[in-house]
Structure 1
Amino acid sequence: MPQQDMHQHCILSYEKRYTFDVQAEQFPFACELSLAPLITFWQQSIPDGHPMQAAMQAQTDAVFDQAPVLLEPIADLAALEPHQDLIDILMTMAFPRASWEEIYAAALVPFQLQTFYTSPRFQQMFTGDDGRMQGRINVDGQTVDHVKMLHAYAYILQHFYDIPLEFDYPLIFTAIDPDTGLDRHFRIDFDARFVTVKTLGPVPSLSEADKQHLLGHLADPHELMALLPPERFAFEGFAIINAVDVTDQEVISSLKRDLIEKESIISNDRFYGLQQRLQTLFRKPDLFFELGALQGDQVLALNCSRQIEYSCIYADSEHHCINEFEGSVYSRACRAGEVLVVDDLTTYPHRTNIEDKLMDKGLRSFVVAPLHYQDSLIGVLSIGSPRPGDLHALNIMKLRDVLPLFAVSIHRSLEEFNTRLQAIIKEQCTAIHPSVEWRFRQAALHWTEQRFSKGVSEMEPIVFDHVYPLYGVSDIRSSSRQRNAGIQADLLEHLQLAQDILCLGHGHKPLPILDHMAHHIGKWKSHIASDFGAGDELSVIDFMRRDVEPLFETLGQFNSEIAGKIDAYRAAIDPQLGTIYRRRRDFEESVMYINEVLSSYLDIEQEKAQAMFPHYFEKHKSDGVEYGIYIGASMVENGQFDLLYLHNLRLWQLMVMCGIVRLGEQTRSQLKVPLELAHLILLQQTPLSVRFRLDEKRFDIDGAYNMRYEIIKKRIDKAMIKDRDERLTQPRKIAIVYSQPREAQEYWEYIDYLQALGYITGDVERLELEDLEGAQGLKALRITVALDDQVPEVAVSMDAIAEAMDAMPHGTVPVS
């Protein structure tokens, strides 16, 4: 492996981040402080004949004459104190004097963190009374030791073996700023120009193999020390350290790492850590930091004054109505879409109650930054200071790169909360219609808040008061009879196939038992044909499996004709049902097909109706399609409702039902079993209350008074016309059932309009119904839907509805 590649591999293996107390250090090489390399540099820095040579020589002679101790290795730093003036002169060659008061620089004992000469700022920031550096470094102790050893060995290999080994490891040193008490971060640059290395005895020899082995094991200190024992070398001189302030870069990098963490803003420690980093970034130890997340019409405020203990942005935040911030610095910043800086809240010209509360907290300088996620406002970040002018546009620019990450963090926390909220709704309520999801979300929010704060164990009741119901059903006529007829036909075919096999077997070999079994099957056929009832299907299947089919193994050996009949029998039997599944499948597939056609049509038209005005809609498919609708002020989040939308929906329902009738008739020719549909609309002019039953996870009518409506819904499809042996619901007709004449008055207007459009043909029947259990005095209008090619398309036009509503005389339709 080439030396450069090995070197890079070694460096990469150390790219980790730790903090390490710099006081802990181990180094196996002998190191001595000496100014001799600097004095030599003085002597050699000016060429012969240069005008400055004499002055330079005079300075070095003064060192020899006044302080010969400076030419020797210095074991005790106290020996330098009497000669500080001379040292200052000597150090002018090592440190730039013009910037001496501004830089962070020092001279140290080689490979130690013991300083003996420091700039004023370095001494204030880094050194203790004993001259040792204090603070934290960004790697672990083992890595520090290893880095120092690699630097030492790089020097040795270059000096004695002519092996270049460039090595540079990025060290970040963190110290406490004595003025603010906050962290300051510095990149440490070492300068070893005034460090020399010598051998203690002969120079250890290295073969080419040794050199290759050493370069391949730079990450292993034991291998290095085995080939080049530390006790054979010593370092003397001094190292120069330059510290470059990288606080802003380090804090921003740390903020980026922190905000990527899952619970970056919903953990006490992590939120406090974010505030500390912002305080460090702005050099303001009393900086106030707050996040606000937008959740619907609420603002969820997070700050260090509130205990964060549930890892939930909703439970751990203060909740405010968004209207509370109208006209404040928050709303102004959000509307402008840019950072708003207030130099002094006391002189802010547009002060509201919000700004007064901020001043009550002791804040004067204040900044609000809107946070956007995918171009949508998702929250705000605000910081404040108790001193006017502390925060301004220039230092706020530092936040530019991390504001999007605060937005991402808020989005992630809101998404996690919404997922938790949806899980609560799903667990408590199953699937919810989108039109009322807001109310379930509201209840789940209240429950989440009260469960954490008050230990509430159940979600609040969800009741929609004063809503108007609409109900419609398109039922398959005689579906039970047709289903039974299909089962009956399949069983008779099943029995016939088996009887034919037994008769063939008896003809080939006249065993009395075969004739007996054929006779038994004949009795079953007679029973199924004349008196088919519940349980007969299972009984026949059990009889065939237990008594008949076991004979086929033997019968199949009689001759090939019988074997072929048995194969045909087995092919005809459905393996899961154990009997023939042909006529019943035709019926069930026909039911499924027409249900899907009608259901899809309803879904398309319902989407249009929702666009007119939101309402609750539920649909059920069995032998036909039934649906229920509830509309009213309590079902919309803003509570705004006009009776115009109720009338609109009733007309829409009647038009859609006409479409369903036509669609059902058009579909009959595509069915294996030509099913007929009967259609009904139930009127209820008086509003009622609807409650969500958490135990049953469904909506139900609330209150005993309103139960009559539910009773009618369950029984009306069996209603008979009074004094006539005729069902109310008939194919190609729509029955509109009502209780009071005023309930029908509105629909007369709609019927007249639809007759004019060509949706309805013939006379309108006025009917009285036989009493039902729990529901007496019902009446109905029955209309016939036009089916010829001249009538309009079955799709309902919103323009047609609007036209009809405009044409109707206002104030003539009773609504209560």
Structure 2
Amino acid sequence: MDIKNNSTNRLTISLDNKFDGVKCKFSEFPFKSVLSLDPLIELWKNAAGDTGKIKSSIARPVLDRLKNIPELIGPLNDISLLKKHEDIVDVLMSVIYPAAQWNKLIQASIAPFKWKAMYSTPLFDKIFGVSEEKINKLQNENKHMLVGKTINAYVNILKEVYGRKIKFGSPFIYGTDDKNTGLTRYFQLNFDSTFVKIKVNGEKPELNENQIKELLKDITNLEMWTKYLPPEKFEFHGFVNLYAVNITDQEVLSQLKHDLLEKESIISMERFRTLQSKLRDLFRLPDLKLGLAALPKEWNQLVQYGRKIGDSFIFNFSEIVSCRDFDNSIYEQVMKKGKPVIIENIEQCSDKTKIENELLKQGIKSVAVAPLYYQNELIGVLELGSPKPNDLNSLNAIKLNGILPLFSTAVRRSVEELDSNIQAIIKEECTAIHPSVEWRFKLAAFNLILKREEEKSAEMETIIFNDVYPLYGLSDIRNSSTIRNESIQSDLVEHLTMAKDVVNSAMNIKSLPYLDALSFRINKHITGIKNGLSSGDELSIIEFLQREVESTFSNLENINPSLKELVANYHAALDPHLNSFYKKRKDFEESVAIINEVIAGHLDEAELKSQEMFPHYFEKYKTDGVEHGIYIGQTLVENKKFDELYLKNLRLWQIIVMSDIVRKTNEIKPFLKIPLETAHLILIQNAPLSIRFRLDEKKFDVDGTYNIRYEIMKKRIDKAVINGTKERLTQPGKIAMVYSHSREAAEYKKYIEYLQAKGYLENKFEELELESLQGVQGLKALRVTVNLNYKNEKTLINYKDASEIIMKLESQAQK
């Protein structure tokens, strides 16, 4: 509520029609309302008494006629009397309803605050229909309407009865649906109380200046109004003139502005349809369709990176496959001109492109497309279409000027909200995703958002990439399980030995049979561990030491001061977090960690550069060593053309990277606390396969029974041995390349020959047959020795020259 004090006795009050939170004990209008023509007749009498003027000569005959119709004077309890005496009523009302405007005005005269229409123009009746029923229903159901009328009545009492000059502005907005089109029109209802007289029953309630100020300060406090001015003391006689002004455009624009500020205003299909409905009201086109599309910065990336918001004509096209299809179309014109473009009748358009024909397929015969800008940057387009030719034209398209900024802001915000929602879904459903396939997961997340509009429990679609080529590599720490067990054995023996020293020292000072028995058990554990470590031995021995040995130390410390020092040294030798001896295991795990970091770090650095050749999926896992998997193919990329040349590049790249890893792991060996050896292999497969993202495991896996063999090979080939021998395939300083078909070997021999010439590899290589593995037979291998003395400042070949290298190798093979 705004109150402006313009002078000492005049206030201007605006309520903006907001009465939320107002306490109202009334279920209906609390004042008595009496329909009467008396105030209007009084106007005519004043005119008749103004002698010597034309209006007097007009008024006197009217009053003479009224003398013969006494039922029109005083309270009108029977409204049908107005129809009965229609001629004289028309004359009386002519001072309010100008004849020249009769068919243009949206006007009615109603009982004071009762909405009982006694007289109205044809246009009012046409628009509002059975207006009394509609408005009475609104009155009874709408608290705001009741509160507004009551406050309006009290303000009139202050003006008329207490002589306060108050301007009270509280217009009502009324929406009505067209029976034929279903479109909503909005009208502002303004009320003129000129012909209302207020009657006071009995003594006028006293009202001092302070009370008036109090009422005006809190004008919506109905309890205070009724306390000072009881409703039963006042009656309203006469009629109110109601003027309806069509404000559809202003109201719809206001509602659109409010709606577009709401979160997900254009992402939610329900809200999107609401926006479409309001645009239909604004343009007065019941079949109008709305489309919105967010565009990439580069127009030539529209097909790949554009997206519809809610709905869009441009992304409903059935046969659009290239940005070239948009050449010379209405969309390209919009982009070039930077302003709306309208085709009033697409069917009669002489230079239709594929795009305009696609619009016709969607049933759109009249279209307007407008660019959406945010901070001078093109971010999308707004589309309006109608199935009727000429519905959209340069005249009604002017209305776009009022809505484009609103939609621009909403599109910008909604794209940001959508991206945020997409990232949240990916994080929840899929965790971290490799950048090469992020586009596919964003699409799946976007589709999930749309599906959840219809079904809250919808799940993310299955993500499958068909016909991708796999590459697999493993750098394994040789005999890591054996060395780990030996480290554990060494630490346990050392731990038990330290405990035995404490116990034996205590026995030398004070002979106790229990200590002798404890020493015996410790020796037994030492002997058992030296003979071999079984599952569960480590845990059982640690429990034995803590529960049965160390529990006696507190008592032993009291036997002799020298034992106290010995116990202190024992505890100091243990790891404070594990409470056990942790030396050899620590050396082993630190050595493993260093090797893994060197391998993983080199893979990450090299892989980042390899993406320059062609985008591909890459993953790695650390165990006792590092394994990596690569997938490359057309289905993995969104906007690039795959060629087998890129696959060959990547295969050559993998051998180079693995040879670098062999050298690096060999170089760091002298600096390791335990000089661990590493062995390296590559699995070759020419046949493409399909991979599926497993939502439960949050990782990719091969899809289909036929492709399972590849997964089996990955898990078992590191244990492969050469046929007819017990020699392991993988050996330190070498790279084993496992294959199934001779054509796979032929391709890799070319790479080996090239890398030998470049100094990466030693000049000889081995061709080997492998013993059958469980579930896999017929495997062979190429095994090469890495040149450990090779020095290359760049470490890797120039990736930009990779294509030339492959083509050169192909040419040599053909010769």
TM-score above 0.5, yes or no: yes
Does 2:86 align with 1:81? Answer: yes
1:596–1:263 distance in 2 versus 1, CA, 3 Å: same
Kindly state the Cα deviation for residue 148 of structure 1 after the two structures are TM-superposed: 1.7
Q: Which amino acid aligns with 1:332?
A: I
Does 2:494 align with 1:490? Answer: no
Which residue in 2 is equivalent to 1:110? 112
Q: 2:320 aligns with which of 316, 319, 322?
A: 322
1:655–1:179 distance in 2 versus 1, CA, 3 Å: closer
Which residue in 2 is equivalent to 1:333? 331
Does 2:785 align with 1:771? Answer: no
Please say if residues 174 and 184 of structure 1, whose CA atoms lie closer than 8 Å, have aligned partners that are also in contact: yes
> Could you tell me how far apart the structure 2 residues matched to 1:664 and 1:357 are?
61
Kindly state the Cα deviation for residue 624 of structure 1 after the two structures are TM-superposed: 0.6
Query: Mean alpha-carbon deviation: is it higher for 739-748 or for 595-604?
Result: 739-748
Please say if residues 487 and 583 of structure 1, whose CA atoms lie closer than 8 Å, have aligned partners that are also in contact: yes
1:488–1:450 distance in 2 versus 1, CA, 3 Å: same
Which residue in 1 is equivalent to 2:253? 252
Q: 2:18 aligns with which of 14, 17, 23?
A: 14
Q: Which amino acid aligns with 1:151?
A: N
1:381–1:569 distance in 2 versus 1, CA, 3 Å: farther
Please say if residues 475 and 678 of structure 1, whose CA atoms lie closer than 8 Å, have aligned partners that are also in contact: yes
Query: Mean alpha-carbon deviation: is it higher for 329-338 or for 416-425?
Result: 416-425
- Helix, strand or coil at the partner of 1:656: helix
Query: Mean alpha-carbon deviation: is it higher for 714-723 or for 338-347?
Result: 714-723
1:201-238, Cα deviation, whole Å (9 max, x unpaired): 22211356655665566434344233222232233344
Give 5+ residue unaligned stretches, structure 2: 6-10, 295-301
Please say if residues 44 and 63 of structure 2, whose CA atoms lie closer than 8 Å, have aligned partners that are also in contact: no
1:41–1:521 distance in 2 versus 1, CA, 3 Å: farther
> Could you tell me how far apart the structure 2 residues matched to 1:326 and 1:139 are?
60
Structure-to-structure mapping, 1:385-784, within 5 angstroms: 385-386=387-388, 388-400=389-401, 401=403, 403-404=407-408, 407=411, 426=430, 435=436, 462=464, 464-465=466-467, 468-574=469-575, 577-633=578-634, 640-668=641-669, 671-684=672-685, 686-690=686-690, 692=692, 698-700=700-702, 707=709, 713-719=714-720, 727-737=728-738, 743-755=744-756, 757-760=758-761, 762-766=762-766, 768=768, 771-773=771-773, 774-775=776-777, 778-784=780-786
> Could you tell me how far apart the structure 2 residues matched to 1:808 and 1:73 are?
112
> Could you tell me how far apart the structure 2 residues matched to 1:549 and 1:567 are?
11
1:745-770, Cα deviation, whole Å (9 max, x unpaired): 5445444544554544x543435466
Query: Mean alpha-carbon deviation: is it higher for 698-707 or for 657-666?
Result: 698-707
Which residue in 2 is equivalent to 1:188? 189
1:573–1:649 distance in 2 versus 1, CA, 3 Å: same
Percent identity between the aligned chains? Answer: 35
1:85-136, Cα deviation, whole Å (9 max, x unpaired): 6425533xxx67765553333443332323445445334434649x888588
Structure-to-structure mapping, 1:80-229, within 5 angstroms: 81-84=86-89, 86-88=91-93, 90-91=95-96, 101-126=103-128, 128=130, 140-163=141-164, 166-177=167-178, 182-207=183-208, 210-211=211-212, 214=215, 218-229=219-230
> Could you tell me how far apart the structure 2 residues matched to 1:449 and 1:12 are?
38
> Could you tell me how far apart the structure 1 residues matched to 2:272 and 2:502 are?
83
Please say if residues 259 and 409 of structure 1, whose CA atoms lie closer than 8 Å, have aligned partners that are also in contact: no
Q: Which amino acid aligns with 1:488?
A: Q
Query: Mean alpha-carbon deviation: is it higher for 545-554 or for 119-128?
Result: 119-128
- Helix, strand or coil at the partner of 2:18: coil
Please say if residues 475 and 681 of structure 2, whose CA atoms lie closer than 8 Å, have aligned partners that are also in contact: yes
Q: Which amino acid aligns with 1:797?
A: N
Which residue in 1 is equivalent to 2:53? 54
1:448-482, Cα deviation, whole Å (9 max, x unpaired): 999999xx9998895744x5443322111231232
Q: Which amino acid aligns with 1:541?
A: I
1:674-713, Cα deviation, whole Å (9 max, x unpaired): 43322233444x4253454969865348666983x65654
> Could you tell me how far apart the structure 2 residues matched to 1:447 and 1:146 are?
46
- Helix, strand or coil at the partner of 2:586: helix
1:537–1:462 distance in 2 versus 1, CA, 3 Å: same
> Could you tell me how far apart the structure 1 residues matched to 2:325 and 2:565 are?
90
1:535–1:121 distance in 2 versus 1, CA, 3 Å: closer
Which residue in 2 is equivalent to 1:383? 385
Give 5+ residue unaligned stretches, structure 1: 19-23, 303-311
> Could you tell me how far apart the structure 1 residues matched to 2:450 and 2:202 are?
77
Please say if residues 17 and 139 of structure 1, whose CA atoms lie closer than 8 Å, have aligned partners that are also in contact: no
Does 2:26 align with 1:28? Answer: no
- Helix, strand or coil at the partner of 1:528: helix
Kindly state the Cα deviation for residue 378 of structure 1 after the two structures are TM-superposed: 6.4
1:509–1:301 distance in 2 versus 1, CA, 3 Å: closer
Which residue in 2 is equivalent to 1:242? 243
Provide the TM-score with structure 1 as the length reference: 0.78
Kindly state the Cα deviation for residue 250 of structure 1 after the two structures are TM-superposed: 1.9
> Could you tell me how far apart the structure 2 residues matched to 1:259 and 1:53 are?
62
Q: Which amino acid aligns with 2:473?
A: G
1:589–1:161 distance in 2 versus 1, CA, 3 Å: farther
Which residue in 2 is equivalent to 1:21? none
> Could you tell me how far apart the structure 2 residues matched to 1:164 and 1:173 are?
28
Q: Which amino acid aligns with 2:86?
A: E
Please say if residues 484 and 585 of structure 2, whose CA atoms lie closer than 8 Å, have aligned partners that are also in contact: yes
Which residue in 1 is equivalent to 2:8? none
- Helix, strand or coil at the partner of 2:627: strand
Kindly state the Cα deviation for residue 172 of structure 1 after the two structures are TM-superposed: 0.5
Q: Which amino acid aligns with 1:14?
A: K
Kindly state the Cα deviation for residue 343 of structure 1 after the two structures are TM-superposed: 2.0
Q: Which amino acid aligns with 2:88?
A: H
1:132-154, Cα deviation, whole Å (9 max, x unpaired): 88588699533322222212211
Q: Which amino acid aligns with 1:87?
A: L
Query: Mean alpha-carbon deviation: is it higher for 72-81 or for 658-667?
Result: 72-81
> Could you tell me how far apart the structure 1 residues matched to 2:601 and 2:112 are?
84
Which residue in 1 is equivalent to 2:809? 808
1:296–1:16 distance in 2 versus 1, CA, 3 Å: farther
1:224-270, Cα deviation, whole Å (9 max, x unpaired): 23322223223334433322211112223334555667787798976
1:13–1:539 distance in 2 versus 1, CA, 3 Å: same
- Helix, strand or coil at the partner of 2:626: strand
> Could you tell me how far apart the structure 2 residues matched to 1:322 and 1:65 are?
81
Kindly state the Cα deviation for residue 812 of structure 1 after the two structures are TM-superposed: 1.0
> Could you tell me how far apart the structure 2 residues matched to 1:184 and 1:462 are?
51
Q: Which amino acid aligns with 1:782?
A: V
1:524–1:612 distance in 2 versus 1, CA, 3 Å: same
> Could you tell me how far apart the structure 2 residues matched to 1:341 and 1:45 are?
60
Kindly state the Cα deviation for residue 296 of structure 1 after the two structures are TM-superposed: 6.7
> Could you tell me how far apart the structure 2 residues matched to 1:737 and 1:514 are?
59
Kindly state the Cα deviation for residue 185 of structure 1 after the two structures are TM-superposed: 0.9
1:329–1:527 distance in 2 versus 1, CA, 3 Å: closer
Kindly state the Cα deviation for residue 490 of structure 1 after the two structures are TM-superposed: 1.7
> Could you tell me how far apart the structure 2 residues matched to 1:763 and 1:753 are?
10
